[in-house]
Structure 1
Amino acid sequence: MRKDIKVPEVKNVTLAITREVNTHNEAEWNVHLINRNNHDIENTLVASTGYGELNGEHQKTSTLRHFLETVPARGTALIEPINAEIFHLNNEFWVSYYIDGKIYDKKFIFLPDTIKEENLIYIKELDMEGVLHS
């Protein structure tokens, strides 16, 4: 039965949405995966989608899927750019990866309006400011 399936707990893997200022002095936002483990993670799949409401009208973005072959121990990987126009939505990222042949997966959700200037912190692994998923 389903209760008999042991799902390993995701540890030391998280996401960050960072802000960089481009040469036109405009903010560019990107999603990064951070591997804080002392071992690589392999065959990582990330599915991202946004959903929610604006003025009582349901909104949903396309689902994007990304594959990362290896994210090194204590390393990071750029997942995708993200448009600030969808920060009013739930921004969901489903991350699945393998360690020693076992699959791990976790859903990370950045809630509406949490990706904003006042929530930026310094993220040492990326050496930039962003919103770190807790």
Structure 2
Amino acid sequence: MIFGLLNSVIFPIYFDETYGAKNVLPATLKGQGIIVDLISTELDTVRDFYFGLMSQVKVSRWSKGRFVLLGDTACCPTAFMREGTALVLVDAYVLAGEIKRSIHSGEAFGTYEAFVRPYGHASQRRINPVCVRLTHA
């Protein structure tokens, strides 16, 4: 059983592999608006459908070599936060400034992370742990 959260109401979603999430979602989300209804009617035509638990992965550092994480891939807030766009814009702005200022990318990435990580952690602390636990029960 998975718990869903829709319009601040927590509801259980029951499904097994034979019945499938594609059959459960339309019934569960029925009447939640025209867009949800439209998506629900199109579920049968989708071949690459994935339905699973949300997870949160916290990494010890945001860069390695010439690779760097930005936004919600670095900070890992859950989808309940709706802060992914704001996080990535702040991160991109800071990272661009550090790349312009630094001689080496590693130096820029380290300075970027040191500056932005507290902002990302603040975003994670705004997550309501009770809501996350109920949703992932």
Instruction: Say whether the fold is shared (TM-score over 0.5).
Output: no
Select the structure of larger CA radius of gyration.
2
Name the structure with the higher strand share. Answer: 1
Higher relative contact order (CA 8 A, sep 6+): 1
Name the structure with the higher helix share. Answer: 2
* TM-score (norm. length: structure 1): 0.25
* TM-score (norm. length: structure 2): 0.25
